[in-house]
Structure 1
Amino acid sequence: MSGDPFSPVAIGPLTLRNRFIRSGANEMMSKDMKPTRALLDFHAAYARGGIGLTTLAYVAVSKDGRTLPGQGVMSADSLPHYRAVTDAIHAEGAKASAQITHGGSFCQIADLSTRRAMSASGGIDKMGVLMGRFFQRAMTRADMDMVRAEFAAAARLCEDAGFDAIEVHMGHGYLLNQFISPLSNKRRDAYGGSPENRMRFPAEVLAAVKHATGGRLAILAKINLTDAVPKGATVDDAIVTARALDAAGADMLVLSAGRNIESTWAMFGSPLPYDDLAAMQDGWFARLQFAILKRSVPKLPPFRENYLMEQALALKAGLGTSPMKLAYLGGVQSLVAAQAALDAGFDAVTLARALIHDPHMIERWRTGESKVSGCNACNRCVAVMYGPAGTHCPVVGNALAPELKDIFAGETVSHAA
């Protein structure tokens, strides 16, 4: 199976104008838990630049689901602001996806509603120590019912806000991944132990999201192909995850890898600029944490395009004849690499860094103006993500997208505006 990168593709009830999806990657352009004018301009630029579907990254399903204080939360209060963003995306001919998730114990917020953050299991709270919160608590059945309902409620609000798709984030060490990964799930009940048991609660959440939207929106899930560290989830585990999500009603899986603390390098196929990240921290303890993370990175080969292809193909083979769509993610920086992913049988290509470098790249590829991204995978966009300007490429600034010159307006924007 192969496809023209610029041909339409159906994902459940949704049809995209081409096979390119802007992957969710924290934009940090929210204020008071609402999207800003900057976020609207940011995604409108991708839509104008030719993307088929652009993903608003990390839309928390509740205040406790945030990872950082001002992060966007899907609520009745924020709905008109998100509607303004989806209207702007639609006006440029693209579709909009909301990446909804819950951070669980992976959060740095001081105003949690409980003394300890929730996770699959109790124990040391690796992120909470930065807030003086040293322990996390294992979720009860009541907690799981509450969070499942929060995902469903957020999904209904996403539909009202004009989103065409919902991506349930189950990777990278956030709450649902805290259930899937044996690195964090030490439960001894029906939600722990085997890969099938560890996957049970995330599958319940996706089924609830599917039911809440009644098949009217495309339902995607972002999963890990591998945790990429000893005792972490493997590709065999990912196949179990994929089968469970297929049965729960997922229309497409986005295939990623790595966890935010243990193996961030696996997400990007190259190390993060830990020195840059450390320099942005206020306290010595936070700077020390990044120094420790830097020392934990294994010796990596040079960055290469399509660096997750082997694992992605293994999962694809494990799914057999399943009609569920698969989106390849991992180091696509040229039209040749995108075509290779489609020729390998994947239905779409997801990418972020190359688009951060040039929001108009897809249109340039379509017209033949260029075929290769200028992104060098330095990952400095990840470091500046948490600064006042939000996500951008510090190598080129915003020179390739003049409309983003003053990217951080810092003002929320409602539908009425």
Structure 2
Amino acid sequence: MTTDTPPDPLAPARLGPVTLRNRVIKSATFEGRTPEALVTQDLVDFHVELGRGGVGMTTVAYLAVAPEGRTERRQLWWRPEALPGLRELTDAVHATGAKVSAQIGHAGPVSDSRSTGLQSIAPSRRFDQMALGTGLDRAATRDDIDRIVRAHAQAASWAVEVGFDAVEVHLGHNYLASSFLSPRLNRRRDEFGGSLEHRAELPRRIVTAVREAVARAGDDVAVLAKLNMDDGARGGLAPAESLAFAKLLEADGNLDALELTGGSSLLNPMYLFRGDVPLTEFARTQHPLIGLGLRWFGGVLFKRYPYHPLYFLELARAFRAELALPLVLLGGVTDLGGMNTAMAEGFEFVGMARALLREPDLITKLRADAGTESACIHCNLCVPTIYERTVCPLT
């Protein structure tokens, strides 16, 4: 799908009820700046720098809806004592002229129970992969499902209360909602397993609950979801089923936009990133025995995918052709040429992450000089830094 008069990606645009100063969204990357699972000045400064750098909206990640829904213990999770810091953060970002989104979700089987001290939850009972098979993910009960849906609604209500302009529901990377969508991870035989319609029940309930919570608070906050087009793993969610699920979401009418992603934090994390695989740097962030295992066997988990600009575009075209819902294209968006291509292909917004880690002011540079090329070299050395404090090591 192409448009005859594509919009200017650096001009203002509407995202549901919210006006962004441009069509560039800083996509969610765990910042590693919440050592006590609460907002720090370091986290505020991180997003303020992106706001000053010109993005239309920055996304705070990853805000877990329950304590066992964190991927690890230092991640912020929604509770009353977290709200004052989040209000400080949104006020500070707004002062830059940018909008700010809260990515909410439940990590499910991506949670490291060794770190959180709480048993991880999955659609079906399985080895706790994030704890290196030392325990088991327990199968979510109906009470868990009801509780987690309510927790998403409560998180959305709090997000509105503390001044977020948008709420992004995490339906990707085999976090809990995404794992329910996966035929490989979801072996249930009840109303939450089996057919796509049944596997989609939990994610649809979550998105509906979030929309209803936002509407009760005034409905001037946008609701997005981040969805895997492809898990990138044998037996996982594949593009045809993902597109069918996206059509269900569109028919439900609860989303203002859908952000398209891919890859599994459990089964194939490099499918998302593309480019170099910094195994040595990954190994250094882990326990020595784990690090040794990564050096020996890391190539099995960390597959190599060559980088090329707009690397998710081909997959995303099928979604653009079949959906009327506004879409956010991410994956290899680093310059104005890529943004213009995305607009010409009918995508309403673009998402950027690694390029903005390298240059938080990249959008300002593009405004000054349309020919600016990103300094990001796709080395992925930033990825292992999430275990300490997320940065581009080359700056």
Kindly indicate whether the alpha-carbon contact (under 8 Å) linking 2:35 and 2:75 is maintained by their aligned counterparts in 1.
yes
5+ long unaligned stretches in structure 2: none
| Count of equivalent residues | 387
Distance 1:296 1:247 in 2: 36
Residue equivalent to 1:361: 362
Residue equivalent to 2:123: 120
Distance 1:299 1:384 in 2: 19
Q: Output the amino acid matched with 2:289.
A: W
Higher relative contact order (CA 8 A, sep 6+): 1
1:16 aligns with 2:20: yes
Residue equivalent to 1:59: 63
1:303 aligns with 2:307: yes
1:254 aligns with 2:255: no
Distance 1:225 1:192 in 2: 19
Distance 1:16 1:141, change over 3 A: same
Residue equivalent to 1:378: 379
Kindly indicate whether the alpha-carbon contact (under 8 Å) linking 2:275 and 2:304 is maintained by their aligned counterparts in 1.
no
SS in 2 for 1:168: strand
- C-alpha distance after superposition, 1:26-53 (max 9, x if no partner): 1011132111101101100100010000
Q: CA deviation at 1:297?
A: 4.4
Kindly indicate whether the alpha-carbon contact (under 8 Å) linking 1:96 and 1:164 is maintained by their aligned counterparts in 2.
yes
1:393 aligns with 2:392: yes
Distance 2:139 2:295 in 1: 27
Distance 2:304 2:152 in 1: 39
Distance 1:34 1:288 in 2: 32
Distance 1:270 1:154, change over 3 A: same
Distance 1:290 1:5 in 2: 42
- C-alpha distance after superposition, 1:51-107 (max 9, x if no partner): 000000101111111111111112111001011110110000000100011111211
Q: Output the amino acid matched with 1:268.
A: F
SS in 1 for 2:132: helix
Q: Output the amino acid matched with 1:375.
A: C
Q: CA deviation at 1:318?
A: 2.6
From 259, 283, 287, the equivalent of 2:288 is 283
Q: CA deviation at 1:111?
A: 7.3
How does the TM-score come out when normalised to structure 1? 0.89
Distance 1:209 1:289 in 2: 38
1:293 aligns with 2:298: yes
Residue equivalent to 1:413: none
Q: CA deviation at 1:270?
A: 2.4
Matches within 5 A, 1:188-267: 188-214=189-215, 215-248=219-252, 249-267=254-272
Q: Output the amino acid matched with 2:180.
A: F
Distance 2:182 2:35 in 1: 32
Q: Output the amino acid matched with 2:393.
A: P
Distance 2:287 2:303 in 1: 27
Residue equivalent to 1:332: 333
How does the TM-score come out when normalised to structure 2? 0.94
SS in 1 for 2:138: strand
1:40 aligns with 2:44: yes
Matches within 5 A, 1:147-186: 147-186=148-187
Distance 2:189 2:295 in 1: 33
Q: Output the amino acid matched with 1:174.
A: Y
Q: Output the amino acid matched with 2:43.
A: L
- C-alpha distance after superposition, 1:356-397 (max 9, x if no partner): 00000001101217521010010001112212xx1111112x
Distance 1:317 1:170 in 2: 21
SS in 1 for 2:110: coil
SS in 2 for 1:224: strand
Residue equivalent to 2:30: 26
5+ long unaligned stretches in structure 1: 397-417
Distance 1:9 1:46 in 2: 18
From 90, 93, 104, the equivalent of 2:94 is 90
Name which of structure 1's ranges 275-284 and 38-47 shifts more when overlaid on structure 2.
275-284
Distance 1:291 1:89 in 2: 43
Residue equivalent to 1:347: 348
Kindly indicate whether the alpha-carbon contact (under 8 Å) linking 2:231 and 2:263 is maintained by their aligned counterparts in 1.
yes
1:4 aligns with 2:8: yes
From 246, 266, 274, the equivalent of 1:269 is 274
Kindly indicate whether the alpha-carbon contact (under 8 Å) linking 2:276 and 2:378 is maintained by their aligned counterparts in 1.
no
1:143 aligns with 2:144: yes
SS in 1 for 2:71: coil
Question: Kindly, what percent of the aligned residue pairs are identical?
Answer: 36
Distance 1:198 1:18 in 2: 36
Distance 1:82 1:299 in 2: 37
Kindly indicate whether the alpha-carbon contact (under 8 Å) linking 1:105 and 1:128 is maintained by their aligned counterparts in 2.
no
